[in-house]
């Protein structure tokens, strides 16, 4: 085992709080990573193969957050770091959460979420 591999810390989903899980899935870049992994066999996606509009350092940060939340597992093969979505384990801890996250249409990274305009409470309607 290389020093690089030994430096990986993987949280098991049973050790993760709901708050940590929600923070991990709140970011559109991390949701894109999860969506890509959900559609591929385990251990077939290297970190560098994801089409993400971020720097290498930011990409690394996103993978670290996903590992810490128990959402992914990583292992090194040669110079590549391969990924696996820990769906069965995560689904046992947070039933239905990944289904909701993966069903959400992809967001444009960095774009603010838009909300439907609502009428102000107590304001008369325009006629």
Which residue would you say has higher pLDDT here, 126 or 9?
9
pLDDT digit string, tens, across residues 56-104: 999 999 999 999 999 999 999 999 999 999 999 999 999 999 999 999 9
User: What would the mean pLDDT of 30-53 be, rounded to a whole number?
Assistant: 97
Helix (H) or strand (E) holding 45: strand 45-46
User: Cα dist. 98→1, 6, 95, 111, 121 in Å?
Assistant: 31, 28, 8, 22, 35
Distance from C-alpha of 70 to C-alpha of 14, rounded to nearest angstrom:
8
For the cut 90, the answer to whether the pLDDT of residue 50 exceeds it is yes
Q: Is the dihedral of CA 97, 60, 52, 55 positive or negative?
A: positive
Q: Specify whether the CB–CB gap between 43 and 75 falls below 8 A.
A: yes
Q: What is the DSSP letter of 14?
A: G
**CATH architecture of the domain formed by 3-103:** Orthogonal Bundle (1.10)
Q: How many helices (H) and strands (E) does the chain have?
A: 6, 3
Query: How many residues are listed for the chain in this entry?
Result: 127
Specify whether the backbone of 54 is left (phi greater than 0), alpha (psi in -120 to 50) or beta.
beta
Give the pLDDT score at 124.
47
pTM above 0.85, yes or no: no
> Which token pair is 32?
């894109």
| Contact indicator for 87, 46 with CB cutoff of 8 Å | no
Would you state the pLDDT for residue 61? 97
DSSP state of 75: E
pLDDT, mean of residues 102-112: 70
């Amino acid at each position: 085992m290389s020093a690089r591999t030994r430096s990986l810390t993987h949280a098991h989903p049973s050790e993760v709080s709901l708050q940590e899980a929600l923070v991990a899935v709140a970011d559109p870049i991390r949701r894109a990573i999860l969506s890509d992994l959900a559609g591929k066999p385990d251990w077939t996606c290297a970190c560098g193969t994801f089409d993400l509009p971020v720097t290498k350092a930011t990409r690394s940060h996103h993978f670290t957050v996903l590992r810490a939340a128990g959402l992914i597992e990583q292992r090194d093969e040669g110079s590549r770091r391969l990924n696996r979505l820990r769906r069965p384990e995560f689904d046992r801890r947070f039933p239905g959460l990944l289904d909701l996250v993966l069903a959400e249409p992809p967001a444009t990274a960095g774009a603010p979420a838009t909300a439907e305009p609502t009428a102000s409470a107590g304001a008369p309607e325009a006629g």
